[in-house]
Amino acid sequence: MATDATLQPIAGIHSARAALKFGAAGVGELWLDPARRDQRLADLAELAHRGGVSVRGVERDELERAARGANHQGVVIWVRVPAAGTEHDLERILDALTEPPLLLLLDGVQDPHNLGACLRTADGAGVQALIAPKDNAVGLTPTVCKVASGAAATLPYLQVTNLARTMDRLKARGIWLVGTAATATTELYDLDLTGPLGLVMGSEGSGLRRLVQERCDHLVRLPLHGRVESLNVSVATGIALYEALRQRRVPAP
């Protein structure tokens, strides 16, 4: 199993349940600790059997090697990490939409935990695609998939060669691009986010690059009333996406 290069291990009960629930077709095998008496493991085995996934009892030391230091809770699931999409997939997704687009663009996010959290939040907020550059940004990894809790299999993750050029194409389609920047004078809550929208978030350290920032139709800031100067990118993304979702759910007066 471990020699199959197309499969990667993800440890933990919650992550295994998400993988089986949302993408059993991409699961190779479920490993369980036979010495562990936990109803949750029995439930996982049943879920795997229903999805046609092979279940194997594996000794604890082998589970620990596969988990690579993660807390496996007696569970390791081998999954095929989804391949990222491309610019062509973005065009196809946009052409098929019957509602105003809600897209998330991440400019150079490199922490897999942040990307996984952004995927999970974006899926919950109804985002139709997450777009990121191919270079200087994390791709889909086992850690990303674990943190995303199934969203890596349900939300298209597209890596483009040139993010600024992709933004130009989105604008040509009538999609407004709203970026976040600490120097912006407009607050997030003062901007209309109800139309075709691409929310653009910057990297963990330097924020939005100059060319990306210049292509945004609006720049907004999140109000901060404490002593911290910025929020984690995944937290800021969640706040911004759910403000957009709130506005889009409230009928216009």
Most confident of the following: 19-28, 48-57, 77-86? 48-57
Close Cβ partners of 92 (under 8 Å, ≥ 6 residues apart):
none
Question: Within this chain, do residues 128 and 190 fall inside the same structural domain, yes or no?
Answer: yes
User: What is the structure's pLDDT at 204?
Assistant: 80
E-strand ranges in the chain read 8-11, 27-32, 54-57, 75-79, 102-106, 129-133, 157-160, 176-180, 186-187, 197-201, 218-221
Known binding-site residue numbers: 202, 222, 231
What's the confidence (pLDDT) of residue 3? Answer: 37
Band of residue 27 on the pLDDT scale cut at 50, 70, 90: confident
Buried b (16+ CB within 10 A) or exposed e, 27-36: bbbbbbbeee
Residue 1 counted as domain residue = no
CATH at residue 62: 3.30.1330.30
Identify the domain containing residue 154 by its residue range: 87-249
Residue-wise pLDDT for 127-182, tens only, equals 999 999 999 899 888 888 888 888 888 899 999 999 999 999 999 999 999 999 98
Q: Which of 62, 79, 96 is the last residue of a domain?
A: 79
Q: In what order do the strands lie in the sheet with 8-11?
A: 8-11, 75-79, 27-32, 54-57
The reported pTM is 0.79
Q: 106 and 138 in contact (C-beta within 8 Å)?
A: no
Of 54, 79, 104, the residue at which a domain comes to its end is 79
The answer to whether residue 245 is domain-embedded is: yes
Domain count, the chain: 2
Please give the Cα distance from 186 to 164 (Å, whole number): 22
Q: What's the rounded Cα separation, in Å, for the pair 159 and 196? A: 21
Task: Find the CATH number of the domain harbouring 91.
Answer: 3.40.1280.10
3-state helix, strand, coil in the chain (%, to 5): 40, 20, 40
Please report, in range form, the residues annotated as the binding site for S-adenosyl-L-methionine. Answer: 202, 222, 231
Mean pLDDT across the chain: 90
Residue 221's DSSP bridge partners are 187
40 and 74 together in one domain: yes
Instruction: Please give the Cα distance from 175 to 134 (Å, whole number).
Output: 22
